[in-house]
Amino acid sequence: MGKKEFLKQIESLNKKIDEHEEKIKKEKQKSYPDEGRIKYWEREIQAFKNALEKAQKRLRRGK
């Protein structure tokens, strides 16, 4: 992948992280938050962060 693709991937991952954090925030505001959903989104955020870190490393290595 080239620099442009890595930048696009990084942007996409950051957007997904933001979206999931917003979902968690909204779920926690409910009277009875679904802890299972929150844990699922937290695991996904961690996976996105891991992928983001790898993409950033590859981008730096490609310079």
Helix runs in 1-63, H state only: 3-28, 35-62
Confidence of residue 25 (pLDDT cuts 50, 70, 90): very high
Judge whether residue 48 has pLDDT over 70: yes
Cβ–Cβ under 8 Å, residues 13 and 48 = yes
* Angle, helix 35-62 to helix 3-28, in steps of 10 degrees: 160
pLDDT value for 34 = 98
Identity (one letter) of the amino acid at 16? K
Distance CA 19, CA 55 (A): 19
pLDDT value for 49 = 98
- Joined tokens for residue 63: 């310079």
Task: Give the global pTM.
Answer: 0.88
